[in-house]
A and B are shown apart, each in its own frame.
Chain A
Amino acid sequence: MSSSSSSSSSPPCPKKMITLKSSDGETFEIEEIAALQSKTLENMIDENCASTPIPLPNVKGKILAKVVEFCTKHAEAGADAETLRAWDAEFVGVEHAIVFDYILAANFLEIPTLLDLACESVAEMIKGKTPDEIRKFFNINNAFSPEEEEDVRRQNQWAFE
């Protein structure tokens, strides 16, 4: 055991970084510890596939950038729950088309915290709307046949304002 007389603090361990590549060719660096929030990435890291840039053909660059931001934030030590909740609320306070992409990305990358957050925010968008308003907001085509329409109305009529 060698004794070292150091008057300065030892250099911090270099953080292990992983590179991710989006569907449109952009690359992003993420700390390994943050990447572990994705079960998909965790599996790849465990199996030592993480030394080259990991291609993610299902996720666009614009969204991947935000996912990296989310995972990095949630991997930070010492974040208090209150502040994190507020940060999360701002993170999903975007148009539903983007939240849709977050959901797909979180599902593909298996990030349960992001998936729950995004799903809950969509539920908030649904609450308080009539079926018509829901369709308009989410741009959904009402694909019921007339018989189905009648069936559905009978089952759910009680809930319509």
Chain B
Amino acid sequence: MWNNLPLDILAKIFSFLSTESLARANSACRHWHRCGRGYLLSTGSALTWKHPPWFVAVPIRSLSACCYVHNPNSDNWHALPIDFLPDPVRLISPIGGGLILLRSTNTTVHQLALCNPFTRQYKRLPKLNISRTNPATGIVMLDPSRGASAPAFRVYVAGGMSDAPRSCGTYESTLEAYDSVHERWRIITLMPVEFAVRLTVWTPNESVCCDGVLYWMTSARAYSIMGFEIGTNKWHELSVPLADRLEFAALIRQNGRLTLVGGTCGGAVSMWELGEGEVWSLVEETPCELGLKLLGRKANWGSTKCVGTDGVICLYRDLGSGMVVWREMKDKGRWEWFWVEGCCSVRGKKVQNFPIRAVLLHPNLAPSHFPD
């Protein structure tokens, strides 16, 4: 009876399940397994937004057998084995369809790849036209084409130090873009050398794309923002509120607007939104006690990191340090602050405390079909 339901009806039932329930339903029988793994959640579909995104973290600076994911529905941590990855990696950004863009860290030369830790899929992107180390990276999601089973996106790589034998050690002024539809890199434009330097040395994080502009947070002495307008290939700079007093600063996109999250010495973590006329307005501040909890015994915000997507913003440090989360409660029509305990053990086994790098991901248990 139940193991003979038409696949489309079973898929409808499964659409109401959160990821961990779906993983268990997938394991019930062959028919259910085929349904759960074969019915892809398309990137733009309403199904994805029924469930909140998961916090997915990979330890940095160490070769880890697992990545650690936080389930927002049950407020607990799971360990997902990542032994299928051929290289140690550093997460960059989700790109839709449950896939994460990441960088191989066993080579200094910039090598990008895609992976889905839930389906254990991994695919390297082709090499850049110009080999370089430590460039700035940016992602733009494109509208998926009809019937496409993998998300459409573009990756922009700017600056870096050239790795070519002749010009080794010089700053690379080119900006290249990778198109997931055509699967190749194209050199787009050049930039002034001083921008290349900033994007190479002072830009630890990837960009945020808003209204056709890629924004990077750079931290040379005081924080400032570099913007690249994709349509016109023009660069411009944006100032940052409290630029020389922030101990950490990150850019995220919230409600379609560029949002700056930063912490000041002895102060709270604040969020500013960029509005008309490139004016920043203060939107929110972390409640004092939550901020202190996150700081722990540290004296400053220095190693704090931030990820955010529509409806949720997370401030975190290490795997075990816990997180401050600001989440939109749709049914209450307002945002609320939460504390999430860090991951110290999974299923009774103690977990070492690592520094981590995380993304917010809508898990997808159905494998993407990468063209060969």
Contacts and interface: CB of A to CB of B under 8 A. Distances in A.
B80 A126 contact: no
A107 to B, nearest CB: 6
B6 A97 contact: no
B250 to A, nearest CB: 28
Which of B18, B20, B69, B119 has the largest number of chain A CB atoms within 10 A? B20
Which of B3, B78, B119 has the largest number of chain A CB atoms within 10 A? B3
Given A138-B28, A160-B27, 16 more contacts: A119-B16, A120-B16, A123-B13, A126-B24, A131-B24, A134-B28, A138-B1, A138-B3, A140-B2, A140-B29, A140-B32, A142-B28, A155-B365, A156-B23, A159-B23, A159-B78
Contacts of B9: 103, 107, 115, 119
Contacts of A156: 23-24, 26-27
Interface of A: 96-97, 100, 103, 107, 115-116, 119-120, 122-124, 126-131, 134-135, 138-144, 148, 152-156, 158-161
B31 A143 contact: yes
B30 interface: yes
Nearest to B84: A154
B14 interface: yes
A144 B30 contact: yes
Given A123-B17, A131-B27, A148-B30, A107 B6 contact: yes
Interface string B111-137: 000000011100000000000000000
Interface of B: 1-3, 5-6, 9, 12-21, 23-33, 69, 78-81, 118-120, 347, 365
13 contacts: A96-B2, A107-B6, A122-B13, A123-B15, A123-B16, A124-B16, A131-B24, A134-B28, A140-B28, A143-B3, A143-B29, A155-B26, A158-B69
Contacts of B69: 158
A116 B69 CA distance: 30
Contact of B119 (A152, A155, A160): A155
Contact of A134 (B1, B20, B24, B347): B24
Contacts of B347: 161
A143 B17 contact: no
A160 B79 CA distance: 11
Contacts of B3: 138, 140-141, 143
A158 B79 contact: yes
B24 A160 contact: yes
Q: Which 3 A-B pairs have the closest CB atoms?
A: A123-B16, A159-B23, A131-B27
Contacts of B24: 126, 129-131, 134, 156, 159-160
B29 A135 contact: yes
B120 A144 contact: no
Nearest to A134: B28
A139 B17 contact: no
A97 B1 CA distance: 9
A131 B3 CA distance: 13
Contacts of A129: 24
Given A127-B17, A138-B2, A152 B25 contact: no
A140 to B, nearest CB: 5
B29 A123 contact: no
Contacts of A138: 1-3, 28
A138 B5 CA distance: 12
Contact of A131 (B6, B19, B28, B31): B28
B78 A158 contact: yes
A109 B300 CA distance: 63
